[in-house]
Structure 1
Amino acid sequence: MVTAKIWLSELGLRGLRRLEPAKRPTTVGILAFETARTMSLLLSLYNSLTDSEIRALRLDVFRSEGVRYLNSTDEGFLLNLACSERIENLDRVALAVSRLGKKCQAPELQGFDKIYDDLKIGSVDVMKLGFPEKKISQKIQKIEKLISATAELYSGLEFLNEMEASERKLQQWKSYSGPIQAEAKSNPDQFLRKLALQRKHVGRMRAGSLWNQPLEKIVPIMARLICNVFARICIVFGPYVSDLPHVVSDGRVLFIASPQRQFDDTGRSAPSCYTSAPLERSVAKDVIIRSSGPIPQKPNSVGVNIFRNRKPKQQETTSLWLGFGSEERRRISRKRNPVTKEASKSTLGGSGLSSRYATVISVAERLVRCPDLVDDGTREELYEMLPAAVRVAVNTRLRGLRRCVGLGPSDADDWREALERMMDWLGPMAHSTLRWETERTYEQQRFDSRPTVLLLQTLYFSDREKTEAAIVELLVGLSCICRYTNTSSACSSQGLMS
């Protein structure tokens, strides 16, 4: 709590203390790109928690047929998954900011990790840590400008590195008559002039980017925005996630509610398991999700919890709570399993098959749209991606169809319509899975502040039995389309999986 009090006084209301003239502030320097990527992830989290994004999550994602059919119809379970993933990403941002804070001179920045721990257990006042609502948009614009300038510097340095590599080859060619690029060989003087201009351009970009910004100025901005993001997470997901401090709003400022309000709300208990819709049923798009609360038409600009069914009482909004009241609750609040660990063995994520099946579905979708692309190589590649059990199921289904009387070319149109309807809800799940993996694979080069895909939108939590049944239907239908339309000689005799 000592560190928290220091931070409250230094960052909460009065800002950072001025450095002594004898001490020279440390600039971000080579850490500019890592800092810009951390800022991008922080802005991505902030943008994903806006009222419009939360409304889309609840009305579009939770009600999508793929999520309801393969993942879960339990809104409380989905809310817990979304919250856990956002908290994990915020933890990563806070860890990066803590590392940067260790390089600062101010003790309140060096102890940000302790402040963040206290923030997560509700023992510090979020109202005094984060930015006031009227200043957030200004800070966001400033951060976006710095990210954009740093991204340009990153591209400029890459181009400069390529030119300097060509310059080294030019020097080698002059000394040893070695090979050299055509541009430099044809006009070395012009190339050297371009290189000098590029170096000056990089110098100007470095001056306007995070490179020359003092850490004592950048770290507090990120640290305080982390507090705003965490407060927003508590407002949005607090009623359904039991280990989050209960932050409420009276329309002007944010408060931490009393512990009675924190733990007496029965609507916040989350289920320990989930069930997806039955295999035979199709979910209508306008179905009303059970246990859903009303959505206000005009949300408050401070950040309204659209999942709440009733407004907080006046005496509850004006009270401040600075702790759970017991060490056990503190210990529970610190323990949060990674969201990927929530997948059971009956799901694709728990079986390690989500990525493979997403690729299978994406390839099959492309072939359904254009059967002319099916050839021996594509057919063999698709077949090798399938586990042995799915191969057996596909071949068994195909043999059963060949024994049926009355199947002919006219059935191809029916199969195509059926597969297109299936791909309307199965395809987005596969694309989200591949996009989720791509966003994390190329995260080191990412300067994008758009909201990322949530794991609950992917095949990770999909029921394995239902997904495999859908894939079998998809591949059998594709085989029949190829066989009866005669669009490919490779498909005309044996079918796709024969």
Structure 2
Amino acid sequence: MEKQIEIAYSFGEQAHVSMFRGKFAVVKVLDTLRSNMKKVDIPNTISILAFEVANTIVKGYNLMQSLLEENIQIFSKEILHSEGVQLLVSTDIKELLRIASADKREEFEVFLKEVVRFGYRCRDPQWHALNHYFSRLRLEPIKRKHLQKEVEIAMQELTNLAQYTYELFHELHALERFEHLYSCKIEEVESQNLPRKGKGLMILQSELKNQRKLVSNLKKKSLWSKNLEEVMYKLVDVATFIHCAIVDSFEENVERKKANEKTERLGIHGLALHYANLITQMDIIASRSICVLPNMRDKLYNDLPASVKAELRYRLRDLDSKEVMTMPQIKAEMEKVLHWLIPIAIDTVKAHQCFGCVGEWAKTGNEFRKKTSTGNNIIRLQTLYHADKQKMDRYILDLAIYLHRLINLVKNQDKIPEYSPA
């Protein structure tokens, strides 16, 4: 497959390299792609690829929404200065901006690779040179205001198509169930030598017919029946706009040279979700301290990082038995941390649940068509991905000690004999 892509790229490069050269290449290339499209008549419907294309459209939509001016303002004024980001990631705003810029660029590169891959699926070889075009775009960026209105219209058209594709995805599954039920009913009727005119079978046959008609209509309305080249030039417009928006919003005031990263970040080591689950377990145990089951407590302890376990054993030996904290005091101390840590853990889990291909947009449903805000368009800085592991371990350790005190307090209360009147 990779060899075929290399051959296709080579052919496209030789046939159309002049399209990408010259002083005004970057600005004019989109118009060239569109005008050349009109000259060729190569039927190339998207078909089964529709679900992957819809997934890519949702990624592009979410990226565009995250780069809206109002969301950039929320990011700058709220997220960067939020308690969780300041305590777990960094207090250096320039460092946080660098991290956010790198994240947004990485997110864009994932989207871009998919657009380029779809280009190779086109029969017209001009689309096989998109890698070259986007490489030039990095060197000669254009202002997004020149593209904004046209791209907004293109994205609206794409999201409409993606919505119908989402519906098709689910109706195809429903059709499969109907066909299975109908097949089983036929076998049942034939095994009993009954005629195929029974009421139950006729109803099922009618439902199956209606479902096939619904699927057929959705195929016509969705990406399934669209020409891939027609969708491609819209995706290229979107990708160009997003690139320019990232430069305008993040990279103009961010140092491009990455400093030596010595901090151990949870996400880089694949630990973000594990720590999010730890925090959730702690919150559950704290809220149910009166009836904590032994298996819940044991599971939490087993899930603790090795370094935290070792430190916990050491700290528990040094606890002052005379130091008395009431249950409300313990819970109040835990709440000081959990009130800002729990939302981060929840966002971390949500971010991981959205990971995937078709599932990413299929689970989203109608949500991606709504105006996205930073509340449901989660960025990495809102999760545990960039959390400093050493800092996070200290919070986990403190919470574990408070939980130990809480559980012991409940046990000691249980040992006090109940008062019984004489």
Tell whether 2:310 aligns with 1:395: no
How far 1:466 sits from its partner (Å)? Answer: 1.9
How far 1:130 sits from its partner (Å)? Answer: 8.8
Alpha-carbon contact 2:45-2:226 (below 8 Å) kept: yes
Question: Which one has more relative contact order, counting CA pairs under 8 Å at least 6 apart?
Answer: 2
Residue in 2 that maps onto 1:216: 229
Residue in 2 that maps onto 1:11: 30
Alpha-carbon contact 1:363-1:382 (below 8 Å) kept: yes
What pairs up with 1:270-349 in 2 under 5 angstroms?
272-273=259-260, 344=262, 346-349=264-267
Separation (CA, whole Å) in 1 of partners of 2:35 and 2:228: 12
The 1:351/1:445 distance shift into structure 2, 3 A limit, reads closer
Residue in 2 that maps onto 1:237: 250
The 1:216/1:16 distance shift into structure 2, 3 A limit, reads farther
Residue in 1 that maps onto 2:18: 2
- Find the residue that maps to 2:35 and give its secondary structure: coil
Name the stretch that deviates more: 142-151 or 83-92.
83-92
TM-score by length of 2: 0.81
TM-score by length of 1: 0.70
- The structure with more helix, counted as a fraction of residues: 2
**Unaligned 5+ residue runs, structure 2?**
1-16, 193-197, 417-422
Name the stretch that deviates more: 89-98 or 194-203.
89-98
Percent identity over the alignment is 24
How far 1:13 sits from its partner (Å)? Answer: 7.5
Alignment partner for residue 101 of structure 1, among 114, 119, 124?
Answer: 119
The 1:441/1:132 distance shift into structure 2, 3 A limit, reads closer
Aligned residue type for 2:130: F
Separation (CA, whole Å) in 1 of partners of 2:358 and 2:380: 16
Separation (CA, whole Å) in 2 of partners of 1:103 and 1:130: 30
Residue in 2 that maps onto 1:115: 133
How far 1:476 sits from its partner (Å)? Answer: 1.6
Separation (CA, whole Å) in 2 of partners of 1:3 and 1:24: 20
The 1:9/1:441 distance shift into structure 2, 3 A limit, reads closer
Residue in 1 that maps onto 2:108: 90
Residue in 1 that maps onto 2:304: 386
Tell whether 2:332 aligns with 1:417: yes
Residue in 1 that maps onto 2:353: 438
How far 1:137 sits from its partner (Å)? Answer: 2.9
How far 1:487 sits from its partner (Å)? Answer: 10
Separation (CA, whole Å) in 2 of partners of 1:131 and 1:34: 29
Separation (CA, whole Å) in 2 of partners of 1:216 and 1:108: 10
**Unaligned 5+ residue runs, structure 1?**
178-184, 242-267, 274-341, 493-498
How far 1:148 sits from its partner (Å)? Answer: 0.9
What pairs up with 1:100-249 in 2 under 5 angstroms?
100-122=118-140, 126=142, 132-176=147-191, 187-241=200-254
Aligned residue type for 1:468: D
Aligned residue type for 1:94: L
How far 1:227 sits from its partner (Å)? Answer: 0.4
Separation (CA, whole Å) in 1 of partners of 2:174 and 2:55: 20
The 1:13/1:442 distance shift into structure 2, 3 A limit, reads closer
The 1:28/1:130 distance shift into structure 2, 3 A limit, reads farther
Residue in 2 that maps onto 1:407: 324
Residue in 2 that maps onto 1:31: 49
Alignment partner for residue 76 of structure 1, among 74, 81, 94?
Answer: 94
Separation (CA, whole Å) in 2 of partners of 1:109 and 1:358: 42
Separation (CA, whole Å) in 2 of partners of 1:53 and 1:223: 23
Alpha-carbon contact 1:372-1:488 (below 8 Å) kept: no
Separation (CA, whole Å) in 2 of partners of 1:58 and 1:271: 20
Q: Deviations over 1:196-248 (max 9, x none)?
A: 1100011111111111111121100010111011000010112234xxxxxxx
